[in-house]
Amino acid sequence: MAGVPVGGLTAQEARGLLERRAERLERVPVTFVAAGEEVRLTPAQLGVEVDWASAVDAARREADGFGPVRGLRRLETRVFGAEIEPPARVSASVLRFVLHRIGERVRRAPRESAIVLRGLRPELVPPRRGRSLERRAAETAIVRTLARLTRNGPVRLPVRVDEPAVTMRELRPALAEVRIAVSAPVRLRLGPTRWRLRRWRVAELLLLPSGGRTTLEIGGPGTRRLFARLRRRVDRPAREADFVARSDGTVVVTPSAPGRALDDEATRGSLLAAATSRTARVARVRVRSVAPQLTTAEARALGVTRVLATYSTVYAGTPDRTRNLQLAVSLLDRTVVPPGGTFSLNAVVGPRTLERGFRPAPVIVGDEYQEGVGGGVSQVATTVFNAAWEAGLRILERHPHSLYISRYPLGRDATVNYPDLDLRFANDTGRAIVVRGFAGASGITIALYGRATGRHVVSEPGPLVATGAVPVEMVRDASLPAGTAVVEEEGAPPQSVAVVRVVYDRQGKALRRETWRTSYRGEDRVLRVGTQPKPEPRPERPKGEEKQRTQTTTTETEREPTPPPPAGSRP
């Protein structure tokens, strides 16, 4: 059993013999060898624990009898994860660690045959076989050996040989192409322009067969530099069709023009064909046309002929806030809202994140100003809202600021916060609307272009009414005398306003009459209240004592000063 003869013993004797032998071998190492690498392991290191009582019982059943164990045969071990028979356990984590360490020392990746350049001379690199540990079989061998009660010298662990996929024979056609490629210069042609690529330049363009690749390609280290140079000469962006407003309010379409760009794949193919040819060593730079996103025909089909409304607001705040305004305006510029469609500011501007170029700037959170990425985009929302207001469009969603901002039209401000607070309006004109955004030197402008609707908007703002007292925040200030108070911020009471918008059609009939009610929170009046204690009054002195002190002081003041001693004399 486990390499130890137990024939003729009782079950109790066999168990005792096996347990004593296992205890003596618990820290006796066994040497395992794999591809010349050796590792010494003991049963204690792997936490091998064998249930010898169960093993003896199993052997007794196999022997078909009780009492003395007759005809016991050796029980072979089998691995089931981290368990063996005779019933035994090993530490699964330690076993995995040991197998990983052996596998890393044994492992050697196969090396495929490759082509390298020695200067301008191509050479074949011979392949090399790889090897790796047969982990499942090695696990079985390690556990089986350490569970045995005999030690017979080094145990070899199985190693698998990994053959390379590419041989030198398979690369000989590519080797011939490399020799031709570096044998002479290659010329590039772009219209009337010609470039001459010397042999070493051609060599820098070659992506030689290696790592399992068997073909020659263009894509070496010099390819990026060459193609960047070509793009500077070739690439020209497409010109989109645009909408330009005239002074009389009409809108005209400026025509689009296709652009052009370097065709990387076709140019690589042209270069490779020229480099691998002995005679036709001229490669054409391939160019593809780039279509504009909005063509002249598409722009004219929108039927945009008139400025429906325009609204402007001036910059205010930090340079970062101004940058956020300009970025948001550029993102929504030229948005097309189809007939019956909905414009969503959050959808067209997108998340306000640092990665997209937005910067931290002041934002209103509740009833105070804080720093937030994208601060200022609400001014864009206010500008869009007022343009849609003046165009007489149906406004689906608008959220006012929590605090009153005097530079905006009374009751006609809007704020947004991605993704929960949005500004949305519907295009109910029956024709497409184009949203234009302009960022100038002093502010931003939103214009809505479309087919003339004949709508006329009349706005009737009501008074801004205080709805409560000014909230007061008192701040204790030890630098001020007790009983005094200084107003640091005036504050403002909570206020509300109602604005009526009436939209008339071409015949002067009211299409809709709306009342927009807006409430603003109060702003705290901040008072600094002094807490410095008043000084205690000094005690009064008797009149005679004060007079005497004054006379004494006067006498001392009027006394002649003592002249200094002569130079060099000792005081």
The single-letter DSSP state of residue 535 is P
- What is the arithmetic mean of pLDDT over 489-497? 92
The single-letter DSSP state of residue 169 is G
- What is the arithmetic mean of pLDDT over 39-44? 90
| Residue 163 amino acid letter | E
| Burial profile 270-297: b = 16 or more Cβ within 10 angstroms, e = fewer | bbbebbbbeeebebbbbbeeeebebbbe
**Token pair listed for 347:** 């959808």
Tracing tokens 């330009």 back to the chain, one arrives at: 244
Query: What are φ and ψ of residue 196, in 5° steps?
Result: -110, 120
Is 413 a residue whose pLDDT tops 60?
yes
Distance CA 492, CA 10 (A): 101
The pLDDT value recorded for residue 546 is 54
The pLDDT value recorded for residue 75 is 40
What is the residue-averaged pLDDT of the chain? Answer: 87
Q: Report percent pLDDT > 70 for the chain.
A: 88
The pLDDT value recorded for residue 15 is 82
Are β-strands 394-397 and 424-426 bridged in parallel, bridged antiparallel, or unpaired?
Answer: antiparallel
Q: Could you report the per-residue pLDDT of 313-360, keeping only the tens digit for each? A: 999 999 999 999 999 999 999 999 999 999 999 999 999 999 999 999
Distance CA 461, CA 412 (A): 9
**Token pair listed for 152:** 């017979």
SS3 string, 394-429, reads: EEEECECCCCCCCCCCCCCCCECECCCECCEEECCC
pLDDT band for 175, please (50, 70, 90 cuts).
very high
Q: Could you report the per-residue pLDDT of 520-570, keeping only the tens digit for each? A: 999 889 999 888 887 777 766 666 555 555 444 444 434 444 454 444 444
**Token pair listed for 160:** 């698998």
pLDDT band for 14, please (50, 70, 90 cuts).
confident
Q: Could you report the per-residue pLDDT of 442-466, keeping only the tens digit for each? A: 999 999 999 999 999 999 999 999 9
Q: Could you report the per-residue pLDDT of 156-165, keeping only the tens digit for each? A: 999 999 999 9
| Of residues 10, 12, 48, the one with CA closest to residue 27 | 48
Number of H helices, E strands in the chain: 14, 35
Domains in the chain: ranges and CATH: 11-112+123-162 (3.10.20), 171-299 (3.10.20), 308-453 (no CATH), 455-535 (2.20.230)
Three-state DSSP state, 440: coil
Of residues 70 and 316, the one with the higher pLDDT is 316
Q: Could you report the per-residue pLDDT of 91-142, keeping only the tens digit for each? A: 888 889 999 999 999 999 999 999 999 999 999 999 999 999 999 999 888 8
Query: What are φ and ψ of residue 488, in 5° steps?
Result: -90, -40
Tracing tokens 């696990």 back to the chain, one arrives at: 139
Whole-prediction pTM = 0.65
The pLDDT value recorded for residue 82 is 35
The pLDDT value recorded for residue 172 is 95
- Say if residue 419 is preceded by a cis peptide, omega within 30 of 0: yes
pLDDT band for 513, please (50, 70, 90 cuts).
very high
pLDDT band for 65, please (50, 70, 90 cuts).
very low
Q: Could you report the per-residue pLDDT of 472-485, keeping only the tens digit for each? A: 988 988 888 888 88
For residues 436 and 450, the answer to whether their CB atoms sit within 8 Å is: no
Question: What angle do the packed helices 92-106 and 135-147 form, to 10 degrees?
Answer: 120
Distance CA 386, CA 378 (A): 12
Query: Using alpha carbons only, what angle is made at residue 212 by residues 206 and 214, rounded to the nearest 5 degrees?
Result: 50
Q: Could you report the per-residue pLDDT of 497-511, keeping only the tens digit for each? A: 999 999 999 999 999
Q: Could you report the per-residue pLDDT of 218-259, keeping only the tens digit for each? A: 999 999 999 999 999 999 999 999 999 999 999 999 999 999
Question: What angle do the packed helices 52-62 and 11-25 form, to 10 degrees?
Answer: 140
| Of residues 191, 301, 291, the one with CA closest to residue 253 | 301
CA atoms in the 13 A half-sphere facing the CB of 80: 8
